[in-house]
Structure 1
Amino acid sequence: MNLGPEGHRKRLRERFLRSGFDGFHDHELLELILLYAIPRRDVKPIAKALLMEFSSVSAVFDAPMEALQSVSGVGEHAAMLLSMIPRLVDRYHQDRWRQTSSFHSTQQAVAYLTAVLGTERNEVFCVLALNSRNGLIAREEIQRGSVNRTAVYPRLVVETSLKHRATAVILAHNHPGGDPSPSTADRQLTRKLKRILHDLDITVHDHIIIAGPRYFSFVEQGEME
């Protein structure tokens, strides 16, 4: 029986090949990633130190490289690999949804927006420009804000809609804090944009707020009347 670091690494790989990350503890997930950046070394203490420092797997992935390297045993290569994870997920989702041609339900729009906004750490406001068949012409980022605030300028939304010759739009932004409930400002902005775009014969189908796996749809909640 091989009880050394190499044996442990092999068992982690085999478990992942059998069932993905099902049954993995958080530190084991980090171990499996770290073993590709830190060869010939027991990475379990490093994985546990990372969790002790940052409290969660997601916080480890979101941490700046400098902060990751402050943990004993984490060098530049390991820090870079950990920092790449959320960016790889973002690129994967963007590529996966690139062929999306139309939205015929709130759930389709939510699935698409969760993929592109769900892992954003700062608040982002974007517009989905649609044609007369609700086909996606373009997704354009209008404004990128701090962790809890975005200033959205109606002029930019109008310019984007006209530039793409959209007949309809879906407005969307994210709440990085995890609560998708709209603020008073969100409601005021939605009414204002709907009124402005209506005068240009552009329909606002919905305003969707993404907060990780949770969402708020103004249409579903009867707030687009």
Structure 2
Amino acid sequence: MKSSPSLATETKSHYEGHRQRLKDKFNTVGAAAFADYELLELLLFQVIPRSDTKPLAKALIDRFGGLLGVVAAPIPLLKEIKGVGDNVIHALKLQYAVIGRALKQDIHGKCVLQSWQQVIDYCTATMAYDDKEQLRLLYLDQKNQVLCDEIQQTGTVNHTPIYPREVMKRAFEVGASSLIMVHNHPSGDPTPSRADIDLTLKIQRIGNDLGVKLHDHVIIGKGRHSSLKSLGIL
């Protein structure tokens, strides 16, 4: 009488067959045919070699809302998810770094005012899911190409100290003709506060006096952004 396969063998066959089917599907039809959690599964295959990664992929998507939210999530929050260890965190953060680097390259060497959506995509990817407010400054040359892209200040969950004198001092150091200010609202709501508006107008006035034009101040939320220029404030 033949013995039945063990439960371990059945489980192994299940996830190995599933993995191969996903890989074959990706190689045949590409990413467009995949749900977000399935793409995340493929990534997790690389660091979790011997288990079913579908439950973890779904848990991560449910917790952080989408692929960008997963790879950009703060490490302490990722560690709260059962099954997320150091190797998973390393893979997710490496993926996040690659996304940020690729989007950053997209805006360099171009007139950013004519590549505005790429600027928004880059800032959203690198700032929207940060759990603290931060101020990014894009200093531009006379052709409105990026001379310098840097985080000048990092604050708390709802406040970033911004010093107009330091903003302009750095503009002169890099030889900028103009700049774009970008900061994030960790709450996810990009509506400008009264303080945001007052500070923007102050920096605009100082910049005009010094010959450094403020093109815009963009506030990044989760999946949304506000442009003070589009709102008619600048």
Name 1:68's counterpart in structure 2. Answer: 79
Give the TM-score taking structure 1 as reference length. 0.81
Checking the alignment, whether the CA contact within 8 Å between 2:112 and 2:119 is kept in structure 1 is no
- The alignment partner of 2:112 has SS state of coil
CA distance in 1, matches of 2:173, 2:198: 24
Name 1:191's counterpart in structure 2. Answer: 201
Q: Which amino acid aligns with 1:68?
A: K
CA distance in 2, matches of 1:66, 1:211: 19
Write out per-residue CA displacement over residues 152-209 of structure 1, whole angstroms, 9 at most, x where no aligned residue: 1111101111112222222222223332221111100011101111111222222222
Between structure 1 and structure 2, the one with the greater Rg is 2
Taking a change above 3 Å as real, the CA distance of residues 39 and 132 of structure 1, as seen in their structure-2 partners, is closer
Name 1:112's counterpart in structure 2. Answer: 119
Taking a change above 3 Å as real, the CA distance of residues 180 and 38 of structure 1, as seen in their structure-2 partners, is same
Q: Structure 2 matches for 1:51-90, cutoff 5 A?
A: 54=63, 56-58=65-67, 60-61=70-71, 62-64=73-75, 67-68=78-79, 71-72=82-83, 74-90=84-100
- The alignment partner of 1:151 has SS state of coil
1:48 to partner: Cα distance? 4.2
Q: Which runs of 5+ in 2 are unaligned?
A: 1-12
Q: Which amino acid aligns with 2:92?
A: L
Q: Please say if 1:101 is aligned against 2:131.
A: no
Write out per-residue CA displacement over residues 2-45 of structure 1, whole angstroms, 9 at most, x where no aligned residue: x6322210111122234444343444333222111121332234
Q: Structure 2 matches for 1:25-44, cutoff 5 A?
A: 25-44=35-54
Compare 124-133 and 20-29 and name the one that shifted more. 20-29
Name 2:170's counterpart in structure 1. Answer: 160
- The alignment partner of 1:139 has SS state of strand
1:66 to partner: Cα distance? 8.2
Name 1:143's counterpart in structure 2. Answer: 153
Checking the alignment, whether the CA contact within 8 Å between 1:60 and 1:68 is kept in structure 2 is no
1:111 to partner: Cα distance? 2.2
Q: Percent identity?
A: 34
Q: Which runs of 5+ in 1 are unaligned?
A: none
CA distance in 2, matches of 1:209, 1:50: 26
CA distance in 2, matches of 1:67, 1:127: 28
CA distance in 2, matches of 1:206, 1:66: 33
Taking a change above 3 Å as real, the CA distance of residues 67 and 128 of structure 1, as seen in their structure-2 partners, is closer
Compare 42-51 and 166-175 and name the one that shifted more. 42-51
Taking a change above 3 Å as real, the CA distance of residues 168 and 212 of structure 1, as seen in their structure-2 partners, is same
What number of residue pairs does the alignment pair up?
Answer: 218
- The alignment partner of 1:157 has SS state of helix
Q: Which amino acid aligns with 1:109?
A: W
Two-structure CA RMSD over aligned residues (Å): 2.8
Checking the alignment, whether the CA contact within 8 Å between 1:110 and 1:208 is kept in structure 2 is no
Give the TM-score taking structure 2 as reference length. 0.78
